Amino acid sequence: MLASLLAILYAEGSMQRQRRDEDDLMIPIVFVVLGFFVMLGITGQLLGKYLTHRNPIVATAPQPAAEPKQAVAPPAATTPAIATPQPAAPPAAAAKPPPPPPPAKAVPASPPPVAAPASGALAKLALDGGTVIQASGSGVESKLLGFVKDPNSAIDKATWFDFDRLNFETGSAKLTADSKAQVDNIAAILNAYPAVKIKIGGYTDNTGNANFNLKLSGDRAKAVVDALTGLGIAADRLE
């Protein structure tokens, strides 16, 4: 009995020692396992931070699903078009300077009109064809020329122009030398205006015999006509 009891106690003691040994063995194992998990966690955190800094993960919205493509029928075959080459536009011509004006030709121009001279003073009068004469502003030349150039002039028996530089010797029908200038001017006017015809009249003062004076007046008018025909004026233009 005692032997059995001792055997039981020994067995219990052995089991307790074995449990203590196992407990002692389990403590290091637990610490090792805990240390492994701790190290695994630290390593995971370090690895996560490293990967996060190198490749940051950005959350993006999910892309909508692509719509299913519909089948498109191939285009019908067409006749190939050939592009017609367009001719290149000609280059714009450079602006050419205007041609120089043609040289002016010398054209004989009529002398510029001269203002009517003052009464009694001699000045130049321009006639058609370029002829210039010296005459008085109140002389017969100026009056006759103004009448000829005026398109509204009317011919009547009451219109007469008195010679102002035409003189005769006393009691004679002979022209004095100083009368030649005015006779030449009248001839120049008639030559410049070939359509003009004039009538020459003479008169004397009432001194002396009336019949003599009447004949002398006619002779003096004829003397002026003869002087004009002598300068080339046709007799049918004079009366």
Per-residue pLDDT of the chain (239 residues; tens, 9 = 90+): 555 555 555 666 667 777 777 666 667 676 666 777 777 777 777 766 655 555 444 444 455 555 555 544 444 433 344 333 444 444 444 445 556 555 444 433 443 444 444 456 889 999 999 999 999 888 999 999 999 999 898 888 888 889 999 999 988 999 999 999 999 999 999 999 999 999 998 877 778 888 898 999 999 999 999 999 999 999 999 98
What is this structure's pTM? 0.50
Regarding the domain with residue range 122-237, which homologous superfamily does it belong to in the CATH classification?
Answer: OmpA-like domain (3.30.1330.60)
For residue 155, the model assigns a pLDDT of 84
Please enumerate in sequence order all residues whose Cβ is within 8 A of that of 121, keeping only pairs 6 or more positions apart, or say none. 136, 137
For residue 40, the model assigns a pLDDT of 78
For residue 153, the model assigns a pLDDT of 87
For residue 238, the model assigns a pLDDT of 94
